[in-house]
Amino acid sequence: MFEILKDFESKYASLKKKGLRVEGMNMIDPKRKKHVIMISKPFVFDNRSLPKVYQGIEVKAKIEGILHEEFKVEAGKSYVWAPQHFEKFVDRCSTEIRKSFNSPEMSREDMLDALAFGNFEEHKKKCIQLMNDGKIPAFKLN
């Protein structure tokens, strides 16, 4: 396990200057002895540069810092990661996002993918399913 974590840290070391912090290995399910690699990162971070699973171990991320106004929601009234929040943020801050990613030609779709956990359309489908299952508050798609 320790070698996998060291290998992960080494492989993604270049992302540290963009705000990535590798926090270590955590056990999330003692019965099944399931471990995850815990990382933290700023909200404006290109999630496409990170794997969801590394050498068979899930990578879990948490956001450090303050969330932008589009994501400040009242508990139970709205889902913080609802698709429309990403869309509103990208529409309002596209210039700053492009500058942060050092990519002046970045498309709206690329920004949404980068911010919404690597694949915006996949995230949107997952949110719709969670909403239909009653697991998150209802939301309207733009």
Q: Where are the domains of the chain?
A: 2-64, 69-132
Q: What is the pLDDT along the chain (142 residues), one digit of tens a residue?
A: 789 999 999 999 999 999 999 999 998 888 888 999 999 999 999 999 999 999 999 999 999 988 999 999 887 788 999 999 999 999 999 999 999 999 999 999 999 999 999 999 999 999 999 999 999 998 887 6
Angstrom distance (rounded) from CA 137 to CA 63: 21
Amino acid 51: pLDDT: 96
Could you tell me which residues come within 8 angstroms of residue 130 by beta carbon, excluding any fewer than 6 positions away? 79, 136
Beta-strand pair 21-29/53-54: unpaired
Give per-residue pLDDT as tens, 34-75: 999 999 999 999 999 999 999 999 999 999 988 999 999 887
Amino acid 142: pLDDT: 63
